[in-house]
Amino acid sequence: MEYKLLVLDVDGTLLNSNREMSERTIRTLKKVQQNGVRIALATGRPTYGVLPYAKAIDLDFNDGYIISYNGSKVLEASTGKVLFERTIDPKMVPYLEKQAERSGCVLAFYENDEVVATDTSNHHIVDEAQMNNMALRQVDSISEALEGVKDDPKLWPTEVILVNDDEQMLTGLEEYLQRHLNGVMDTIHSNPYYLEIVGYQVGKSHAMSALVQKLGISMKEVLAFGDGHADINMLQMAGTGIAMGNAPEEVKRCADYTTLSNDEDGAAIAIERAFEEEHEKKEDDQEVPVDVLNAQNKNTLMGALGMQYTFASPHRVEATMPVDGRTRQPFGILAGGASLALAETLAGLGSMIACKPGEMAVGMQVSGNHVSSAHDGDTVRGVATPVHLGRSSHVWNVQIFTSTGKLVSSVTVTNSIMQKR
């Protein structure tokens, strides 16, 4: 089966026990996207808390997606456009407050880059804020905090969290609320100490289904990874569901396969195997280590302009370049000459990699169309792909984008291929 969408849980799957992505995981996910596969990060975290991981794997450059709040929201990583969202009506919050008071729970919700809670000294609330790099704001009442937005559904919270150290009590409370909120709201007990109240029929599987419909693909073309109970429906619904080695046995039983743990690069290894079966690699099409290339070019024009290679193979080369005092015009936008220098650099490396032993590439012609501007402080990204790789010449198309994905320049570079003397 040729997979077109890869859906990954974050904590316990994408991240190791130190809440970090390994270099192998980052490299593997970037490579998958280079082959045209879309990626969606599916997490119980708020959107703000997953943005750094999305950026680290270039999700915004590769038309990726973020499924946050356990499926309550789906958005495009490149534009921030919301594709799907289910919220909680503030009129239901007083009922939840009564249940929280009766059971001794702290109540919390997310608002932009803040965790709003009735007790910000609670160690679980503090950990949640630190984990997501969010600020804390204490309130006496969640209802009062939502008073100003109750007439605007766009500002309603996507979930409300009840927090308590007594896992057994939370389990009983979940069963109680499921009976009393049936058809109105749903519950998700993804963490031993959190009981999340979300909109009706919310879950990662529902969000994944909405995304599949939007992309016009089938569930058979989806490969999903997870480690928790909140991932079970997603693993069962996907064409292939893979549980992490660190997942509970009941989660593993619901998956098609089990990989190694999150501390053993289990997701990366399974992805590599899945896509190697689909795309058999040719010996001459291996990725070139970009760290070596960047080190070699430190004292060249490339280094002087701040260019950094991010991916290199015989069929695709990418690099970034800052828009700053080295590359901008006096009035603060990227100079056309700098764009051409980036394009020639990318095409030059591409031809050098594609050349046969005894051959060398020499720049012959460059032609660019500058269609929009990139401003001071931005970082542009160039992508070079071959149009023609002949015996005597190579022709490359180079497209340069802003950090938000806007096309800045489209450049054609022709290199002459000569025999070394």
Domains, in order of start, for the chain: 5-85+203-278 (3.40.50.1000), 90-199 (3.30.1240.10), 284-419 (3.10.129.10)
Q: Which two tokens stand for residue 243?
A: 């549980």
Q: Which pLDDT score, from 0 to 100, does residue 184 have?
A: 86
**Res 348 pLDDT > 90:** yes
Cα dihedral 383, 386, 387, 393 in deg (nearest 10): 130
Q: Which pLDDT score, from 0 to 100, does residue 278 have?
A: 54
Q: Grade residue 283 by pLDDT with cuts at 50, 70 and 90.
A: very low
Of 326, 316, 368, give the one whose Cα is nearest residue 346. Answer: 316
**Res 284 pLDDT > 50:** no
Q: CB 357: neighbour CB atoms within 10 A?
A: 5
Residues 6+ apart with CB under 8 A from 328: 334, 335, 338, 376
Higher pLDDT, 404 or 195: 195
How many angstroms separate the CA atoms of 317 and 60, rounded? Answer: 18
How many angstroms separate the CA atoms of 217 and 204, rounded? Answer: 17
Q: Which pLDDT score, from 0 to 100, does residue 277 have?
A: 57
DSSP code for 262? G
Which residue numbers are catalytic? 344
Q: Please report the sign of the dihedral spanned by the C-alpha atoms of residue 143, residue 195, residue 227, residue 11.
A: positive
Pairing of β 38-42 and β 159-163: unpaired
CA angle 144-86-256, nearest 5°? 130
Interaxial angle between packed helices 167-180 and 93-103, expressed in degrees from 0 to 180 and rounded to the nearest 10: 150
Q: Grade residue 147 by pLDDT with cuts at 50, 70 and 90.
A: confident
How many angstroms separate the CA atoms of 49 and 52, rounded? Answer: 7
Residue whose structure tokens are 């070596």 = 292
**Res 122 pLDDT > 60:** yes
Instruction: Give the whole-number percent of the chain exceeding pLDDT 70.
Output: 97
